[in-house]
Amino acid sequence: MSMSRVFFSILSGAALLCYAALLLITIRNGLHQRSHRYFAVYLGGMVVWSLGALMTYLAPEHARFWNQVMMAGVAVTPLAFYGFVQGFLGRSNRDPYIIPGAVVLLVSLFLNAGGALVARISVSQTGLIVFSFGPAMPLFSAYFPFFQLLVAY
């Protein structure tokens, strides 16, 4: 294993531990408020993402599977972050974007499980994850920034 892959493994492992610790603290403090629930979902997505990243470096022969795990974690974050901000700002529970966003999230997760978001994944000798976009990436590419822009609005 090259030094850069060791470095990226340590970085991914540290991120996994930090996100998991924050998730445990959030759950321990209670999920009574909507912002806390969405923050826990966001952190859960980041735990899944960092676990996938760590395992991609530790088991590069299974890079495709672990990349799908990473993408599943990343897919949750825009909607969870949007919900967190809406809850934190005390905006209405009847948000018109949550249900359509959840449907697009579920479709994205289904497409990801089928390998349609990312294709040809490998880990280079320098430790970089090399991949190409799959045919369903345009859907995900619209969903992700849409909710990021809504947060800014």
Mean pLDDT of 86-105: 90
Q: How far is residue 89's CA from residue 32's CA, in Å, rounded to a whole number?
A: 16
Q: Structure pTM?
A: 0.92
Per-residue confidence (pLDDT) for residue 37, from 0 to 100? 96
pLDDT band at 127 (very low <50, low <70, confident <90, very high): confident
Confidence of residue 113 (pLDDT cuts 50, 70, 90): very high
CA distances (Å), origin 66, targets 21, 72, 73, 105: 22, 10, 11, 19
- Mean pLDDT value across residues 130-147: 92
pLDDT 10s digits, 85-95 = 999 999 877 88
Residue 114 CA to residue 83 CA, distance in Å, equals: 27
pLDDT for 20 equals 98
**What's the mean pLDDT when you consider all of the chain?**
93
* Residue in 13, 20, 103, 115 with CA at minimum distance from that of residue 71: 115
What mean pLDDT is predicted for residues 45-57? 97
pLDDT at 5: 86
- What's the alpha-carbon Rg for the chain, to the nearest Å? 16
Q: Kindly state the average pLDDT of the residues 98-118.
A: 94
Tens of pLDDT, residues 10-45: 999 999 999 999 999 999 999 999 999 999 999 999
Residue 78, H or E segment: helix 63-88
Instruction: Give CA separation, 41 vs 46, 60, 129, 147, in Å.
Output: 9, 27, 26, 15
Phi and psi angles of residue 30, each rounded to the nearest 5 degrees, phi first: 105, 150
Task: Give yes or no for residue 72 having a pLDDT over 90.
Answer: yes
Q: How far is CA 122 from the centre of its chain?
A: 19
